[in-house]
Amino acid sequence: MKENIKNIFVEGAISPTKIATSIAHHQSKTNIGAHAIFLGQVRADQIEGKTVHAIDYSAQTEIANQVCHEIREAAFSKFDLSCMHIYHSLGTVKSGEVCFFVFVSSAHRKPVFESLTAIVNEIKAKVPVFGKEIFEDQSHQWKVNQ
Amino acid sequence: MKENIKNIFVEGAISPTKIATSIAHHQSKTNIGAHAIFLGQVRADQIEGKTVHAIDYSAQTEIANQVCHEIREAAFSKFDLSCMHIYHSLGTVKSGEVCFFVFVSSAHRKPVFESLTAIVNEIKAKVPVFGKEIFEDQSHQWKVNQ
Amino acid sequence: MGLRVRYFGQLQEITGKKEESLTGVFGTIGNLRAHLIRCYPGLEKIHFKIAQDNTIDIDSSEVNGTLIDLLPPFSGG
Amino acid sequence: MGLRVRYFGQLQEITGKKEESLTGVFGTIGNLRAHLIRCYPGLEKIHFKIAQDNTIDIDSSEVNGTLIDLLPPFSGG
């Protein structure tokens, strides 16, 4: 059952260097003509006079990875994609840092636009990840996705 | 008339490091929650038995920058964006290298998905850039966008 | 046989626990949900999904696994 | 007064030139287009746009600039 289920989780923020390395790895795949990338960045939202300083992410990782695997397989069936990568942070990610990275590649641009939107929306809706917004005074509230 | 018209052109390929630097520059903009990036990569297309080794890009740069400026202004009016960056290569870009980089940012994800697709499609259609596909034997043909 | 029940996200604050062992016969996931809400009345305010053995399940399913996870609304990305 | 005419992309191969100076009265962009196709018959096979003074113009416009650019189909990105 557990065929090739990748672990999407990384500890802490996703660095611009990691993103660059991921892009560079695709330069040997010369059938690719188009990449699309989505990055989720932690906002310093103001809530009742307090500012979000960081989000502490936790997850039910087994279910999360299984659901991402299913989202991935469905996207490969539906869209003409060469590659797809999904990463999400666990633990503390400060405001301004990247917590979510989705990367799709194809010969042409249409599949990357269509699949990127679909994959990001599905992950937000279906993957059991929980964000705890930490304010500067160390109080917190639980994040609610729009 | 020439209000703040940015130069979209860079000489040669756009490196993953340049993309990482551009992403890192946005970490101080803590009202941003979502980035979307499009990258055009040169494909090693096979055409009548010959393989594309590189594309040599030229442009009418004054018109190209003016048209990109108009596309940018229209996108800022239409979509709720925080930032937008457009870069295109001039000169030789080898297969596997990145020649086109569009980067949009917003508080939320919907505007970045919608604007990225629109901006990339408009640039492909309206900006006077000309790609000469160079084969391994140094012969060439002129690229045609689909 | 016992059930291992884990609480995620804000449900850890509501129950005051990360996990616990439960014994008893609950029948369906829905009955288990009702039991847990009786134990922890604060759960009534939060919409939560229940997974058994690492798969999100519906209330009409039979409890036949050993691992139960309570999952509050997802807020990844 | 002379016109500076520049050729871009594959039009440089068709005309054998990057640019040239033209004198004469052409009236409209469309007339200028017809004149250039007579000079370089290979241009007839390629759809090209004409810009004057760094703005793409339509064939019914009057030639009143000093810089004319011939732009073959765009293929950026």
User: Closest to B43 (Cβ–Cβ): which among A28, A30, A112?
Assistant: A30
> Could you tell me the CATH number of the domain that includes residue D44?
3.10.20.30
Predicted pLDDT of residue A113: 98
Predicted pLDDT of residue A3: 67
Rounded Cα–Cα distance for residues A76 and C56 (Å): 23
Return all residues near A130 (Cβ < 8 A) that are at least 6 apart: A57, A58, A59, A142, A143, C8, C9, C10, C72, C74, C75, C76
Structure tokens at C39: 């134990």
Nearest of B61, B119, B72, B58 to residue D75 by alpha carbon: B58
Predicted pLDDT of residue D2: 87
Contact C74 A124 (CB under 8 A): yes
Rounded Cα–Cα distance for residues D39 and D33 (Å): 10
Nearest of D22, D32, D37 to residue D59 by alpha carbon: D32
Is residue D10 within 8 A of residue D72, CB to CB? The reply is: yes
User: Closest to B35 (Cβ–Cβ): which among A29, A33, A39?
Assistant: A39
Rounded Cα–Cα distance for residues D53 and D65 (Å): 6
Instruction: Give the pLDDT confidence of B126-140 residue by residue, as tens digits.
Output: 999 999 999 999 999
β-strand B129-135 against B140-142: which pairing, if any? Answer: antiparallel
Q: Is residue B14 pLDDT above 70, yes or no?
A: yes
Q: For chain C, list residues whose CB is within 8 angstroms of any CB belonging to chain A.
A: 6, 8-10, 49, 51, 54-56, 69, 71-77
The arithmetic mean of pLDDT across residues A62-76, rounded, is 98
Structure tokens at D15: 């005309």
Q: Is residue B3 pLDDT above 90, yes or no?
A: no
Q: Is residue B1 pLDDT above 60, yes or no?
A: no
Is residue C36 within 8 A of residue C71, CB to CB? The reply is: no
Which of A 5-24 lie inside 8 A of B, CB atoms?
Answer: 16-17, 19-21, 23-24
Q: Is residue A14 pLDDT above 80, yes or no?
A: yes
- Does the residue C31 lie in any domain? yes
Is residue B141 within 8 A of residue B47, CB to CB? The reply is: yes
User: Closest to B127 (Cβ–Cβ): which among D6, D54, D74?
Assistant: D74
Instruction: Give the pLDDT confidence of B45-79 residue by residue, as tens digits.
Output: 999 999 999 999 999 999 999 999 999 999 999 99
Q: Identify the structural domains of chain A with CATH numbers, from first to last.
A: 9-142 (3.90.1170.40)
Rounded Cα–Cα distance for residues A72 and A78 (Å): 10
- Does the residue C76 lie in any domain? no
**Ranges under pLDDT 50 in chain D:** none
Secondary structure E strands in C31-66: 49-52, 55-57
Structure tokens at B45: 């297309």
Predicted pLDDT of residue A145: 84
The arithmetic mean of pLDDT across residues A50-60, rounded, is 98
**Number of structural domains found in chain D:** 1
Interface membership of B144 toward D (CB under 8 Å)? yes
Predicted pLDDT of residue A25: 97
Confidence at B2, pLDDT banded by 50, 70, 90: low
- Does the residue D19 lie in any domain? yes
Please tell me the distance in Å from D39's CA to the nearest CA on chain B.
22
- Does the residue C77 lie in any domain? no
Q: Is the ipTM of this complex over 0.85?
A: yes
- Does the residue D45 lie in any domain? yes
Instruction: Give the pLDDT confidence of B74-113 residue by residue, as tens digits.
Output: 999 999 999 999 999 999 999 999 999 999 999 999 999 9
Predicted pLDDT of residue A4: 85
B41 CB neighbours in chain A (<8 A) are 26-27, 32-35, 105
User: Cα separations (Å) of C13 from A90, C36, C71?
Assistant: 19, 14, 13
- Does the residue D76 lie in any domain? no
Predicted pLDDT of residue B4: 85
Provide the domain limits for residue C30. 2-71
Is residue A63 within 8 A of residue A2, CB to CB? The reply is: no
- Share above pLDDT 90 across residues of chain C, in percent, rounded to a whole number: 94
Confidence at A2, pLDDT banded by 50, 70, 90: low
Decide: C and D in contact? Rule: 3+ Cβ pairs under 8 Å: no
* Residue with token string 């009548």: B48
pTM (predicted TM-score):
0.96
